[in-house]
Structure 1
Amino acid sequence: MQVLNFYSRIFADQLKRGRKTATIRLGDKSHKYRKNQAVLVTIGYQFSPREKIFEAVIDAVDVKRVRDLSPRDIEHDNPEFRRHDELTHFLEQIYGRTVTQDDIVTVVRFSQIVSQPPGYTDARLGIGGAQN
């Protein structure tokens, strides 16, 4: 299984609460991530123990320039950000280099895989709903 890893612990709470539903990675990563691919979402540094957060499915992979990111793209990556300058500053900290509006990024949208979604009912299968 492919791993979608985050280095910063600040994302743990956002991921667990479902507030972070995307990652914006510098460069074209479309060869690495594909729509409908199952991934293991983790947090930790290379060569160190990593915390398993959850399994997820990739909903979309979009390659675009930083300037073409929508406020919604940015918000799904980091719920605290809305503007390009906030995102570029953050990416510069992560990647250790200047990030411009012309840089290519990959937006990877994902959804947590759960055993039974909250409020899910399927009378045909006798799943969910009120318990007797």
Structure 2
Amino acid sequence: MEKASHKANAQCVEDIGKAINNHFDGFHYHTGFEEELIETYGMERVQYVVAYNIQQKLNDGRISKENKTWALQSQMNQGEGNPKPEYTIHTHSGLLDLFANSIREQQLTHEAEESMKEGDANEIEETDMDIQL
């Protein structure tokens, strides 16, 4: 199972790098492609590889303090002794920072949607209870 997860992480890293580089035309970074990556790999895996990459660049001034803080607060084990080169997203640090901004935004949107779904489910349960009484 661990080997399959490692392979999926490595493929996710490769696809993120390609997508970031394909959506930067030399002057503009075009967003909106992140959703497809999240659908393919899941939010948790995308966050993991992005956080991992930012954690490897904590001294890089092109990564915002907010993204560094987010990466350090991720559930990933920051104490991993051996860096994994196969988990390195090959892109400019500034583009990685912009991608992390988008992922954090998607994460907030996803959490808000989940919260609304839970709220709707609770309302339905309460309504059902009222009817049953």
Give your verdict on TM over 0.5: no
**Computing the radius of gyration over CA atoms, which structure comes out larger, 1 or 2?**
2
The bucket for the TM-score relative to the shorter chain is 0.3 to 0.5
The structure richer in helix per residue is 2
**What TM-score, normalized to structure 1?**
0.32
**What TM-score, normalized to structure 2?**
0.32
The structure richer in strand per residue is 1
